[in-house]
Amino acid sequence: MSGTQQSKPLGLKPTFGFGDRLGLATPGHFEACRQQAGPIRGIFAQQSIREMQRTNRTPDDVMNAAINDLKAVGYTGEWGSDADHLKTEKDVDYTAAAGFVFFTIDPSDDVDEQADDYDAATLDQRFAAVKGEVAWLDRYKGQTIQVPDGPEIHFDDTTLKRAAVKYGRAITHTIKLASYIHKVMTERGADYEIELSVDETAQPTTVAEHYIIADQCRENLPDPSKLVSLAPRYVGDFEKGIDFKGDIKLFEASLAEHVAIAEHLGPYKLSLHSGSDKLSVYRSFARITRGRFHVKTAGTSYLEALRAVARHEPDLFRRIIDFSRGRFAVDKATYHISADPDKVPVPAAVADAASLERIYLDENDGRQILHVTFGSVLTDDYLKAEMLRVLKAHPDTHKQVLAHHLGKHLELLREGMMEARDAHATDERHTWETASET
């Protein structure tokens, strides 16, 4: 298979992840890129281990769906593949064998998610348990570091203890898994790149914690240049399938500090997970990162597939809604979402098909009910077969709704990049334009 059909590392170029849980979305994803991406590169094969487990799909299924659909549209440009939320060496073997070249390390199971709430006594107790794993602590002890164009960070004892308790074991896990990825890809003779993601944790990553995580990666990864992306836990709420919740000005100010650290210790991109539908922050995310970003989406494409089903077979859409409502209480368990099904009318109470589409695909609570139950629907033999039948019978509708919806995402990101370029036209610092040439 020719090189142009294989995914490749995309370095510091602006990238957008198109998670496809069905294996039929790439035509619409590619069309969205064709219409709106500009210099943003598409990562057309992106699934987490969790998603593949929930949909009974393999890394080969995900990779081959992207390759075949890109070949079908005659695309010979560069594109990426993201083996997302990897936690173990087995996850690495499983996805590397399918040809993935971008590996998202997720050490969140080793993050102490209550660390910010510990009082001094509890913090000392927790610190005693991790002390043996954080020999790096002395490197920062008593230091005050002024990050160029960024925050002044004071590494006082409490800050260091809290960072050690919160991320100490996650740093160890990251270095170990990154070293294994390096070994596997070197043996395969394949280039690769890494993202570190702690986005799915309860408490925001402080600038001191970001600095320590990135500095330790720079010191200990076999090839630090392979760390092209980092997803801290940002301030604000990034719930699945709906727009950003929080103070945008606070988010922008915090993001600017994270960007300064990434430029100083990297450079590497900042990554935004659960990027689906975060339309209110996209322009500032692209502007403040100056186009040095990665955005990940997945659930929103599943919802657009349901929109295509709703438009052609409303009775099947009703059946999927009823089934999803029955599964919601169980499936919502691993997500941080605020949907309340009691606030959403059951399909039998909504006669009009257009109203049902609006309630369950354009309003927050309905979107989240359908979003988090994707795994149950896509592992129900009848509903999955019916959904695939309708989408295969109406590929143009599926492609059109995806291109329209994901196109809105890309358009806002591109506008933010243009704002950055205009604002920094005379700035000699690396901007997204030079990155996109490397």
Ligand X SMILES: O=C(O)[C@@H](O)[C@H](O)[C@H](O)C(=O)CO
Binding positions for ligand X, rule: CB under 6 A: 19, 48, 50-51, 84-85, 273-276, 296-299
Cα Rg, the chain, nearest whole Å: 22
Tell me: is residue 85 an annotated ligand-binding position: yes
User: CB burial class (10 A; 0-12, 13-18, 19+) of residue 277?
Assistant: buried
Query: What contacts 122, CB < 8 A, 6 or more positions away?
Result: none
CB of 271 to ligand X, least distance (A): 9
The one catalytic residue in 51, 69, 82, 84 is 84
Q: How many CB atoms lie within 10 A of CB 280?
A: 14
Q: Are 229 and 262 in contact (CB under 8 A)?
A: no
Q: How far is the CB of 197 from ligand X (least distance, A)?
A: 7
Is 273 labelled as part of a ligand binding site? yes
Q: How far is the CB of 187 from ligand X (least distance, A)?
A: 27
Strand partners, 144: 154
- Active-site annotation holder among 51, 195, 357, 411: 195
Active site annotation includes 84: yes
Q: Which is nearer to ligand X, 19 or 150 (CB)?
A: 19
Any residues with CB less than 8 A from the CB of 377 and at least 6 apart, and which? 320, 323, 324, 327, 383, 384, 387
Residue at 203: amino acid letter? Q
Which of helix, strand or coil describes residue 148?
Answer: coil
Identity of the residue, 226 or 240, whose beta carbon is nearer to ligand X in the bound complex? 240
> CA 63, CA 83: separation in Å to the nearest integer?
10
Cβ closer to ligand X: 299 or 366?
Answer: 299
- Which parts of 207-267 fold into alpha helices (H)? 207-220, 248-265
Q: How far is the CB of 318 from ligand X (least distance, A)?
A: 25
State the minimum distance, in angstroms, from the CB of residue 25 to ligand X. 13
Q: Which is nearer to ligand X, 104 or 289 (CB)?
A: 104
Q: Give the separation between CA 406 and CA 304, rounded to whole angstroms.
A: 9
Residue 54 or 161 with smaller CB distance to ligand X: 54
- Picking from 351, 343, 359, the residue whose alpha carbon sits closest to that of residue 315 is 351
Asked if 46 and 84 touch (Cβ cutoff 8 Å), the reply is yes
- Annotated binding-site residues read 85, 240, 273
List the catalytic residues.
84, 195
**Binding site, annotated residues for a divalent metal cation:** 85, 240, 273
